[in-house]
Structure 1
């Protein structure tokens, strides 16, 4: 009888130890030693929530494969995809929309200097009337009008080239950050699944351009979270329809 009671007593606690936790600390991205208390730590998979203590440390129930979100007012939100349950340190960058402070020093100017006329300025402005008419000397301060019909086309071409250069820059940035190595480290995908994931979830130029700086690790984690909800058929690339023979 006593042996049975002891066995039951020893067996009960083990059910409580099956739950796992994620631990770590959160710091300011620019000031690496500045811990951040009050950060909301949310397990997006289980919906559990916790906060960091005065030392910036956190503990939350989690398992491998869960998605953990870190939010704090005034800071960018970050998300961590758990590939293991080792202690993790998170660095949150500050949101900054304000311009840098500029010190303005007053300078006392001499009125004679302010009112002085430019000695190199032309006294008169010539107006090109075209045709056989002679140029008329104008005594007003309004500049002459010189039409250039090709200028608008030139400016449009310049803008088009600038847009293409900007787009090429974003494409190079995506190629540099959205790589098989980066995706594999976060998702553990390999082979055909890795190729399909990268084609389906490759970030667009518009996405990257809309959020600067673009957080590729955060995007890959969220994309993988959505990927796991797809059916095996949805994870495969659909074949293009075959053309009918003439």
Structure 2
């Protein structure tokens, strides 16, 4: 009888270990799709490389890829005719990456900004900062005093507008990596659809989420959840 129990316990342990190993192996794979930014066309034959492991693969005819890796890995994406891009993997799920053609100036809007990888977003922020500085310096070159309408005219306004949009997206991404679905779901029950709406509507300020205690965060989520439910 004791041998029987031991045998069953051993079998159960092996079974659970197998499940754990299976989940661990599954978690070690990164899946994604590579698109062209302007057309949203899926790109085949893009070389995807994991900088941590050194492993590489290529996207299939529909732009899909699978590569061994984990959260916090860096992936590079290389395709002739497109700028090399780097993506930081900070959440599970299908990674969507949008490549930009070489020497292509992109038109900034909310949709485009949301598609940029973190590395590309940082690059566009620096470019927008430079554009704003160049515009204002060139307008005052030689000590010529210009009217306010020219100093704050079209080019300068556009540079500042682009920069504000890019910085807002960068700030939101920092918040979203801390204000995670896992954190929220541990406190309040939300469906996948409601979760996306809740995080968008009640995204806290970055300084709050970075410095608040667990009790403060819990109180914030509960209070926001009450407002969310009453508004539905």
**TM-score, normalising length: structure 1:** 0.42
Q: Which has the larger radius of gyration?
A: 1
Give the structure with the larger helix fraction: 2
**TM-score, normalising length: structure 2:** 0.44
